Structure 1
Amino acid sequence: MTFLPTPRLRDVRLRHARLLLATALLPLAAPVWAETPNAPAQTSFAHPADPTKGGAGGRIIRVTTLAKDGPGSFKEAIEAKGPRIVVFEVGGVIDMGGTELVIKEPFLTIAGQTAPSPVTLIRTGIDLHGHDVIISHLRIMTGAMDKPHFSGWEPDAFSTVAAHNVVIEHCSFLWAIDENMSASGPRFTGKTVQDWRAGTSHDVVYRENLAAEGLAFASHSKGEHSKGSLIHDNTTNITFYRNVWAHNVERSPLVKGGAQVAMVNNIIYNPGHRAVHYNLMALEWAGHDYVTGEITAVGNVMRGGNQTDPGLPFLMLGGDGDLAFYGKDNRAVDRHGLPLPMFGRYGETKAKLITSDKPLAKLDGYTILPSGDVETSVLSSVGARPWDRDPQDIRVLFFVAEGRGDIIDDEKQVGGYPHAAEKRAPFVEAAWDLTTMTPKNGAYPGQKVGAQEKLSDRDKAMRQGGV
């Protein structure tokens, strides 16, 4: 794995921050999001064909209420049977009140981009047990809900559970009590490695998501548990493309024994004790032959923040099992722009890092940016509805650009749950390409012009030349 030194990295990063503050969070004006206002808005970053079409061709189910359940609710829509595309005729906050959502029925597309304003689920998390599912442009803000420490309220913001053929794109996951976005399931199902891999999550794509501020000392039964992503033992073909992990103590991501992961053009900001790490634990694999894990990492950026341990490596190896690794053009710097090591380990065990001279995962079809271009590009397009961002997403992304922000214990430290006003608008089927779930005229609901900054009244007056 190589480190590309940049003599004036701090100056470059400041220029990037200024650019972001002025224009980069402007999807309408940036070629990253739309070529012209009247052209179909689309990401310009190519990627291989997705492992599923979700609910394409199925019936349209309209979400018409922000109630947590009942007729017209989001819960009712995801629990419906048969191929279906879930669209929204209402935007705002869906308060699940501590009830976690479970998706079991396959062939589902959830299109948060159709809502008149951002759809935010609070006090909840989603566990996906099914297959052939696409979820786009949702926000999930789990939070501690004033639960006591060690009380056992510990949902993921989002996780697959032995699911396969899944695409999670342009979602924002904040304030999880367990992980923010994961791929999980049983460790051993059947007698062979092939059985194990078939029985847990596989063929999962995480693309353009924000996974931030996993709560550290909240209600998890294990105590501190600010975690980004857990990629469980024997999961395979798990892809992270153009995501941001920010302000998580560990697991950005943690790859467990025998798992196979590709990481391309992601940002890891302010990791605490570990960034990327691999661990096949002997305590968990007792009686089973070890399987070598695989990580392919290309064009990723790790940048230290206020809580990042001095000298933290990009990749750390723990446990007993070996890791095959291919790395190219990855950067790791501390909060001052000074280089950090690429590799370290925790635990004095026999685990070996086996470097490869060629990718271990297929990278054909991806637009892969040089690591020096990743920060500006990814921050401009990541997360839910980048054309119509929520204030908390704006805060997190601007802080990443500015080198600010902290690992937190409770959502109230950063303002607490949102209270967005309900908005309504009909979903006009003829106005949308139902294959790609993009508007035919290129204009998404709520699409804004101008920098999406969160400004105080005084700041607004100053921007307008007032006093």
Structure 2
Amino acid sequence: MKDNAVMNTRRTFLRSVATGCVGTVVLSTTAQAEKPEEKQGPSGPATSQFGLDSGFADPAPWLDDDVSVRTVTEPTRDAVEAAISGSGARVVVFETSGTIDLNGSPLKIQADNCWVAGQTAPSPGITFVDGRLQISGDNCIIQHVRSRIGSGSDNTIQGKDSVNTAFATQNNVIDHVTAAWGTDECMSVGYRTSDTTFTNNLIYEGLYSPHGNRSEHHYGTLVGDDADDVTLAGNVWAKIQRRTPRLKDGTRSAVVNNLAYFFDGGSNMDGDTRASFVGNAYLGQIDTSDRVFEGGNAYFEDNTVAEPALDPGTPKYDGNNELDSRPVWPDGLDAMPSDDVEAHNLANAGARPADRTAHDERIVEEIRNRAGTDELDSPYDYWVADEDDAGGFPSLPENTHSLNVPNSDLREWLEDWATAVEDPNASPP
């Protein structure tokens, strides 16, 4: 691996050039092309109500200091690993699109102060496959990428989330990310973490039989023991069995304006949790004998539990200690009415909402059209057993472009690139 360093007045710009490593991605022969849909105006707001600063995390407080901007020029694990590694604050940008094969092992952002800006990639963006994408450092941000871990070859399921934050990390943000085909959860918050924000993510199709043995672990989101000041806002969970989310012992969470579709068990909490559930929309619960909210100590306000399956007379709550006021709430966070959540979240959640790939577009349209309605009595006909059940890992075209990274106002430049892939009427900076 070779890095060409060019010094600038305030920042160092590093271009990651992969030499002497495999330049093509090896995929299953059953892999299907995943091409972007044509941009269309979404049936909802052009950009999300929830920004990087909507939760408890302070997004990239280091960005105004000296940082390196590291450019990924080919869609390989080696190129990305070189960009995220090393000491010092860094922003990772992409001059290539494509599928990045992680070859069965996790890709970890281990050093602190890293921003992975998938919005800078040319259409159709970046998708990681066959490995977990994990934040293992502090003060990090991941935006506008997709991760599909899949079954793997080791016959294990535990800990195999598509995206998560690691044990005891703090002040991290995951925003506008697609997390699918996990065998444990699809996207989760690590144990004993603090100040974690998950916003505008599209979380779907946990695999119920990744190794042909019906492991029944196709879950959405786990918030690990003693995770403090967690914000889950504007996310979508779809076609998963449970954990929308699950809040474990000692957690403190604000769960705001999320959408869940075609699920079974709903949101369950351990006994000593404290949470605020405000303005969430739960559609298409399968087993109406289960409650949408179970256990824990929580404040509930304006949570919609609706069609197509749930009997309106079925209680939402079971075993909850309902609190009179919000025990956990980020400063300045405003919740929208739950009736507005579906349109808003389907327009804005996931990687590159204005430049969706086929699977993300498929999920959004399935929810809009209530595609699972006919499968309520046989949910396994609609849930996904393994990645081959969904057509195999996608193969994205490797398009390229050149980035002109500014010498100042880097945060604004990154925000402009984010807007360009979130708003169909916006143009790249």
Fold agreement, TM-score > 0.5: yes
- Look up the match of 1:88: 94
SS in 2 for 1:270: strand
1:159 corresponds to which residue?
Answer: 164
Map of 1:332 onto structure 2: 305
Closer, same or farther: CA 151–203 of 1 in aligned 2, 3 Å: closer
1:114 maps to what in 2?
A: 120
Alpha-carbon deviations, 1:73-105, whole Å to 9, x = none? 111112222100000000111111212111210
Matches within 5 A, 1:293-304: 293-304=273-284
Q: How does 1:263-412 map to 2 (within 5 A)?
A: 263-272=255-264, 274-279=265-270, 292-304=272-284, 308-317=286-295, 323-336=296-309, 338-339=311-312, 340-344=314-318, 353-405=320-372, 406-412=382-388
Q: Which amino acid aligns with 2:216?
A: E
Change (3 A) 1:402 1:90: same
Partner of 1:422: 398
Q: Does 1:137 align with 2:113?
A: no
- Tell me how far 1:125 sits from its aligned partner: 0.7
* CA deviation map 1:216-248 (0-9, x unaligned): 121499922101111111111011010001111
**Separation in structure 2 between the aligned mates of residue 360 and residue 247 of structure 1, nearest angstrom:** 30
Q: Which runs of 5+ in 1 are unaligned?
A: 1-22, 34-42, 186-199, 281-291, 318-322, 346-352, 451-467
Q: Secondary structure at the match of 1:239?
A: strand
User: Which has the larger Rg?
Assistant: 1
Partner of 2:229: 237
TM-score normalised to structure 2 length? 0.80
Matched to 2:164, the amino acid is S
- Is the CA contact 1:242–1:378 (under 8 Å) kept in the aligned structure 2? yes
Q: For 1:131, what is the secondary structure of its paired residue?
A: coil
Give, in whole Å, the separation in 1 of the partners of 2:352 and 2:408. Answer: 16
Which residue of structure 2 lines up, in the alignment, with residue 124 of structure 1?
131
After superposition, the C-alpha distances for 1:283-338 in whole angstroms (9 at most, x for unaligned) are xxxxxxxxx21010000011115xx2124322112xxxxx2210000011242474
Separation in 1, partners of 2:305, 2:218:
21
Q: Please name the residue that 2:180 is paired with.
A: 174
Match of 1:52 among 43, 55, 59: 59
Question: TM-score, structure 1 length as denominator?
Answer: 0.74
CA–CA distance in structure 2, aligned partners of residues 316 and 275 of structure 1: 8
Give the letter aligned to residue 119 of structure 1: I
Asked whether the equivalents of residues 46 and 424 of structure 2 are also in contact (C-alpha less than 8 Å), the reply is no
SS in 2 for 1:369: coil
The aligned amino acid for 1:300 is: N
| Aligned mates of 2:422, 2:193 — CA distance in 1 | 35
Distance 1:299 1:446, change over 3 A: closer
Aligned to 1:32: 46
SS of 2:171's partner is strand
Shift of 1:51: 2.0
The number of residues matched between the two structures is: 373
Matches within 5 A, 1:197-236: 200-219=192-211, 223-236=215-228
Q: Distance in 2 between matches of 1:115 and 1:313?
A: 42
Q: Which amino acid aligns with 2:366?
A: F
Give the residue type in structure 2 aligned to 1:267.
L
Taking the aligned partners of 2:121 and 2:226, their CA distance within structure 1 comes to 37
RMSD: 2.8
Change (3 A) 1:439 1:103: closer
Identity of aligned residues (%): 29
Shift of 1:25: 6.2
